[in-house]
Structure 1
Amino acid sequence: MPLDILVPYWGDPALARQTVQSVLDQRDGDWLLTVVDDAYPDRALGEWMATIDDPRVRYVRKDRNEGITANYRTCVSLATQDRVVILGSDDVLLPDYVGVVLAAHAAHPDVEIIQPGVRVIDGRGEVVRPLGDRVKSWIAPHVRRPTVLRGEPLAVSLLRGDWLYWPSLAFRRDVLERTEFHDDRPLIQDLALVIDVVAAGGALLVEPTVCFSYRRHGASASSTGGGDGARLRGERDYFAAAADQMERRGWRRARRAAAWHSTSRLHALSLVPQAIVSHRGQVPALLAHAFRPAPAVRTGGRR
């Protein structure tokens, strides 16, 4: 069974070429690659991909830009295999990624999500350890062999601090087909979707073998807008909804973890010194996020 790799593309064509090349360079050739171009103005990537003579590769360009959430849905609709990866268009697979994920799938075919080992790189491809990623490594489960996590303990862990790397995750296709992306949460929808899967009884396999390079650079969505008031309000709103979701599930510890979202709040506090120097207008929003728990949400609200 091939690994279905789908790339929702928008951004630097040079970085996207590195992403595609990293798939072509896999030691295990049992994969399919689909790049979905969200009408990026520069057509260089499509022109380059037209030169790739490989039946496993296809390139689809949309007529108009629809945004990242719509492109995620398009990617899922184009998937054909049992195990699916929605790969970032600036991330890089290490040569054994496909082999590691397919072996994990063969050993645990019923597990909804696979999280392989990840390293972080910058815009030049150098391995880096920013503070946020050091925190992720501290709060992530420390396992030496593939380990399956599920239920309330997994929800508590993720709601205290999201240690997953979304573009590296390998999902069962049927899970993505039946789990909705959150239109109103574009910058936290990865956690929201995973929590929905966990709340529905899904399991996550942590495979510690490092085989994925997650790119953290100034232009990436995960590296911009950290102190933006709208983004922080969106995070608070999500954690409030998640607390309500956990309450209805009967997971009281997970409800408390969502209500306090401690790592998110500590991260906001860590950004205050930098904001004082360069973005003073963001300071009130950062402090509000750091010191105010999530607002209450009525039971029976959005899942």
Structure 2
Amino acid sequence: MHGEPHVSVCIRAHSRTDALRSAIASALSQTYTDLEVVVSDDSGRLASVVTAFDDPRVRYHRNPEPAGATANLTRVVSLARAPLVAILNDDDEWLPGFLATAVGVLDSHPDVGVVFTDDYLEARGRRTRRRLPYRPGRHDRFLSDLLEHSMPASTTVGRRAVWTGGDGSVSIPPDTVGMELVWLRAASGGWPFYYVDEPLGISRFNREQVSLSDDELPTRQIATYGAFRFEDPTCEELRRARVAEFLLARAHVRLRRRRLRDARADIARANATSPRALGLRAAIALSGLRGLAIRWGCSHPRALVALLELWRRMRPPLLPKLAAGGRDLPR
């Protein structure tokens, strides 16, 4: 490769050989070609998969010992050389026009920090479009939307400055959900976001990914949202409500495990953190219904489509009392 690439495709990998092969192939098949593919191997067993691609744009790094998902994300982004960074999970894929679309937006809007698109969800070989609940186009104030909803992991491209904060280093606390923390940091720092309502990636769902039988995911989400404090009172209340929601999700796991003291502590902390958030959304988190529905849907793909669409249309507001009061959330 002559000169520096314009886009670094960063893949943090761990032992999924066939899926990784497909992910790399989808990156190299992009209609936009000024890119590099950086793979950070956290298992030490994927060198042959990566080096089998006879393409100078592919770079391989092996961690000397397992680092974990968040630390491996930090590592792979720190290896990126390009001004634009795209994260591709090792079991996801892009459609050929994804990078051309995303890079086109960022090149046309030099002040926009992050662009993201819809994707297809795939479970057991069955695929359906996931429509995100955002207004298409540019969002100059995106923090409240991001706190209320979420973004896809593998159909997002951001400027390297979004990841580094301008000081050239990538710092993501290891106990957080790394990409969510980066997007929250970008939105709270004033970076505009841009949403393209076109499905340009494939995100694969399986029971291991979405299982809430372990309390690790809600614990990481609590740490992610707990790392911030926002001056805007509405955004701060949304943040606290998000923490409360994940505390209740973790309480559900602990109740199932008969860790009653820990569960009671989480419920009490949720109530102290955001008593206004303890509405229907909180009840769903505490009951574990959403996690159960998604886990069941992964084994029944037709049902998964219907369940996710139903959740998108009927999802209760994070702060029902705030919504009922008629106050407009900042956009």
Question: Under TM normalisation by the shorter chain, which class is it?
Answer: 0.7 to 0.9
User: In the superposition, relative to structure 1, how do residues 237 and 211 fare at CA in structure 2: closer, same or farther (>3 Å)?
Assistant: closer
Residue 15 to residue 267, structure 1, CA distance change in 2 (3 Å): farther
Pick one of 23, 26, 32 that aligns with 1:28: 32
Q: 1:12 to 1:234 in 2, by over 3 A?
A: closer
Residue 169 of structure 2 corresponds to residue 165 of structure 1: no
TM-superposition CA deviations, 1:243-263 (whole Å, max 9, x none)? xx11xxx20110111122299
2:138 equivalent to 1:148: yes
Is the 1:160–1:262 Cα contact (8 Å) retained in structure 2?
A: no
Structure 2 segments unaligned to the other structure (5+ residues): 275-331
The C-alpha deviation readout for 1:187-237, integer Å capped at 9, x for no partner, is x332222111111111211122221111221233xx13x253454344345
What TM-score results when the alignment is normalised by the length of structure 1? 0.75
Shift of 1:12: 1.4
Q: Comparing 168-177 with 260-269, which one deviates more in the overlay?
A: 260-269
Partner of 1:10: 14
Q: Secondary structure at the match of 2:20?
A: helix
The separation in 1 between residues aligned to 2:171 and 2:271, in whole angstroms, is 23
Equivalence for 2:206: 217
- Tell me if structure 1 keeps the 8 A contact 2:222–2:247: no
**Residue identity matched to 1:25:** S
Matched residue type, 2:240: A
Using a 3 Å threshold, how does the CA distance of structure 1 residues 192 and 14 change in structure 2: closer, same or farther?
same
- Describe the shift of the 1:218–1:29 C-alpha distance in structure 2 as closer, same or farther (beyond 3 A): same
User: By how many angstroms is 1:34 displaced?
Assistant: 1.2
Count of residue pairs the alignment pairs up: 265
Q: State the distance in 2 between where 1:230 and 1:60 align.
A: 27
Change (3 A) 1:229 1:90: closer
Partner SS state of residue 72, structure 1: helix
* CA-CA distance at 1:172 after TM superposition: 0.5
d(CA) in 2 for partners of 1:255, 1:60: 39
Calculate the aligned-residue CA RMSD, in Å.
Answer: 3.3
Which sections of structure 1, spanning at least 5 residues, go unmatched?
Answer: 298-303
- Which residue does 1:253 correspond to in 2? 234
> Is contact 1:260–1:294 with CA below 8 Å preserved after alignment?
no
Say which SS state the counterpart of residue 293 (structure 1) adopts: helix
Question: Given the superposition, is the C-alpha separation of residues 10 and 229 from structure 1 closer, same or farther in structure 2, using an over 3 Å criterion?
Answer: closer
Secondary structure at 1:36's aligned position in 2?
Answer: strand
The alpha carbon displacement at 1:5 in A equals 0.3
**SS of residue paired to 1:259:** helix
Distance 1:108 1:266 in 2: 38
Contact 1:112 1:204 in 2 (8 A): yes
**How far 1:287 sits from its partner (Å)?**
9.1
Q: 1:227 to 1:252 in 2, by over 3 A?
A: farther
User: Which amino acid in 2 is paired with 1:255?
Assistant: E
Q: 1:97 Cα shift?
A: 1.0
Structure 1, residues 61-106: CA drift from partner, whole Å, max 9, x if none? 2221122222222212211111111211111011111211121122
* Change in 2 beyond 3 A, CA 1:55/1:217: same
Written as runs of structure 1 = structure 2, the 5 A alignment for 1:77-226 is 77-122=78-123, 124-128=124-128, 137=131, 140-143=133-136, 147-151=137-141, 154-162=142-150, 164-178=151-165, 180-185=171-176, 188-220=177-209, 223-224=210-211, 226=212
In structure 2, the residue matched to 1:52 is: 53
Distance 1:235 1:34, change over 3 A: closer
User: Does structure 2 retain, via aligned residues, the 8 Å contact 1:121–1:214?
Assistant: yes
Partners in 2 of 1:294 and 1:115 — Cα distance? 34
**Which has the higher relative contact order, 1 or 2, with Cα contacts under 8 A spaced 6 or more apart?**
1
